Amino acid sequence: MMKIDKAHVPLIVPNPHDPRLTEHVKGTDQTGAAVEIKVPVERPLTLYLNAQEIVTMMTIGDYPEYLALGYLLNQNMLKYDDIVTEVEYDDDLQVVVVRTEHHTNFEAKLKKRTQTSGCAQGTAFGDLLEAVESVALPDAELRTSWLYQMTHTINTMPSLYLEAGAIHGCVLCREGTPVCYTEDVGRHNAVDKIAGWMFRHGVDPGDKILYTTGRLTSEMVIKTVRMGIPILVSRSGFTAWGVDLARQVGLTLVGRARGKRFIALSGQERIIYDQNLAFVEEESARHKRKGEDRED
């Protein structure tokens, strides 16, 4: 059981050697030779808000409390000024219960979910668009020196992706330094963990940058805006609706950030070009992700 109160803010980084997060699987390769590889696990996690069952998510199973809080916040089922009295996680039942001071009932809302392009359990409610329209993102700047420092650090940091693959990552950064790096089988889970971590520890979003390994979709834009973060960066590409939404709300949107390259399609006024590209290394083949030889 976890009581919600202000606490020391921990630095969250991947632990690729945690035995709970991967399994060894035997098979054969293209030559018929026997091989054994690591693969990420998937576990069901059922989330309750007070007495009501909300959703069952497939997740690697780390940080269930942060995932639960972040999911509710990003689905607009929990407000940032709501009082959370406790978060209780039962590892045997794979259940997490978030309890609030006030009564909640989302029966009607649960019937009108919209499936989004997020992998696995990525869903967003229709009224989320209305919830972000009134958001005023803070003034901020993105120095290209921070961007290159950030992407190099993330790409070379030990991670579950480098250990086993088949995983998405999201990283909250201040300037060029990662402060919270989460991974999961879906990018929506990874960003929800960051949202829950920020809420749990009262982290100011105004001077932060959110990095994701996944596509810059409408879902990722909405979640970033809901979290109050003014800058979203990805090594992957864009969707048209994601770009349109980012422009509507004034979110800085940077994609295809690999090595020396990046493309900004929204909020370019925040970018300060202070890095000499002659001193920036190209990305090594080891850190490329599946399908990235294409200009997606």
Q: Answer whether residue 80 is part of any domain.
A: no
Q: Answer whether residue 105 is part of any domain.
A: no
Q: Answer whether residue 134 is part of any domain.
A: no
CATH code, domain with 247: 3.40.140.10
Q: Answer whether residue 292 is part of any domain.
A: no
| Structural domain count of the chain | 1
For residue 158, give its domain range.
142-287
Q: Answer whether residue 84 is part of any domain.
A: no
Q: Whole-model pTM?
A: 0.88
Give the DSSP letter string of 116-156.
-SSSSS-EEETTHHHHHHT--PPP--EEHHHHHHHHHHHHH
pLDDT in tens, the chain (296 residues): 333 344 456 789 999 999 999 999 999 999 999 999 999 999 999 999 999 999 999 999 999 999 999 999 998 899 999 999 999 999 999 999 999 999 888 877 676 654 444 454 445 555 667 777 788 999 999 999 999 999 999 999 999 999 999 999 999 999 999 999 999 998 999 999 999 999 999 999 999 999 999 999 999 999 999 999 999 999 999 999 999 999 999 999 999 999 999 999 999 999 999 999 999 988 876 656 554 544 45
Q: Answer whether residue 218 is part of any domain.
A: yes
Give the DSSP letter string of 173-187.
EETTEEEEEEEESSH
Q: Answer whether residue 109 is part of any domain.
A: no
Q: Answer whether residue 51 is part of any domain.
A: no
